[in-house]
């Protein structure tokens, strides 16, 4: 039982870990290349060619920062070979990418939630992050806030999820029916998408 519980916790951890990043303080607990602290992706992914040439791929952020008094300083990543002009341009791009970022020796590193503007975790932001890209296109406003009768809205909702018993679905259940709309739909075998498209066309008209 304990083993199953531990496995479940690990799965949850793997699920939400990609949505966490870091706010750098003293830089002692954040990996320069591998952690998400400069944006929503690690520097190792944004600058693949430079990461491949990095002297140490496990550097902490504070190890790549050279303090110059107070909070002033500069970034000094090291690489295992000299660069040609193209690579120098890439290093310049990295330094521009890091502009405005700094190590604050009097503060601790903090974990942040990258799916919200304030960096604070919320169940709502997690729910949105877990939704597949296609769900963002679900026309809920058009369906449920239209001036159509409730039964029509419900029909549109069913059509959007492909649950309307269109001709192709009835035929799959063994019904023998003539397709009177075959010419209209150019002989399409699957009509579920056509049904949804037609319903959305009507709803778009009602909304206007």
For the chain, the DSSP string reads -HHHHHHHHHHHHHHHGGGEEEE-SSSSSSBTTTS--SSSS-HHHHTHHHHHHBS-TT-BGGGSEEE-STT-EEE---BSS---HHHHHHHHHHHHHTTT----TTS--EEEETTSTTS---HHHHHHHHS-GGGGG--HHHHHTSSS-HHHHHHHHHHHTT-S--HHHHHHTT-----TTTTTTTT-S--HHHHHHHHHHHHHHHH-
Maximum CA extent, the chain: 83
**Cα separation, 78 vs 68, whole angstroms:** 18
Task: Indicate whether 8 pLDDT > 50.
Answer: no
pLDDT average, residue stretch 37-65: 92
* pLDDT value of residue 80: 87
pLDDT band at residue 207 under the 50/70/90 scheme? very low
* pLDDT value of residue 208: 47
* pLDDT value of residue 30: 94
Q: Which of 57-61, 112-116, 152-156, 191-195 has the lowest mean pLDDT?
A: 191-195
Q: Where exactly are the structural domains of the chain?
A: 2-130, 135-207
- For 106-118, how does the pLDDT look when each residue is reduced to its tens digit (9 = 90+)? 899 988 887 777 7
* pLDDT value of residue 134: 53
Task: Indicate whether 57 pLDDT > 90.
Answer: yes
CA distance readout (Å), 31 to 43, 54, 128, 159: 10, 13, 28, 48
Q: Which residues contact 62 (CB under 8 A, 6 or more apart)?
A: 26, 27, 28, 103
pLDDT band at residue 84 under the 50/70/90 scheme? confident
Task: Indicate whether 78 pLDDT > 50.
Answer: yes
């Amino acid at each position: 039982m304990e083993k199953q519980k531990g496995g479940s916790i690990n799965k949850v951890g793997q699920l939400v870990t990609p949505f966490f990043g870091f706010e750098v303080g003293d830089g002692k607990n954040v990996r320069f290349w591998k952690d998400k602290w400069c944006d929503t992706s690690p520097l190792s992914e944004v600058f693949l060619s430079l990461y491949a040439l990095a002297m140490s791929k496990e550097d902490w952020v504070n190890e790549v920062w050279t303090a110059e008094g107070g909070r002033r300083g500069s970034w000094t990543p090291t690489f295992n070979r000299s660069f040609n002009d193209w690579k120098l341009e890439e290093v310049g791009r990295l330094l521009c990418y890091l502009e405005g970022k700094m190590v604050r020796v009097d503060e601790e590193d903090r974990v942040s939630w990258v799916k919200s503007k304030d960096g604070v975790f919320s169940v709502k932001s997690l729910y949105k992050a877990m939704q597949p890209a296609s769900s963002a296109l679900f026309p809920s406003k058009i369906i449920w806030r239209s001036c159509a009768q409730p039964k029509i809205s419900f029909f549109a909702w069913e059509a959007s999820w492909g649950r309307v018993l269109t001709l192709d679905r009835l035929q799959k259940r063994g019904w023998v029916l003539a397709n009177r709309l075959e010419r209209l739909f150019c002989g399409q075998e699957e009509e579920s998408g056509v049904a949804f498209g037609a319903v959305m066309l009507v709803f778009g008209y009602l909304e206007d």
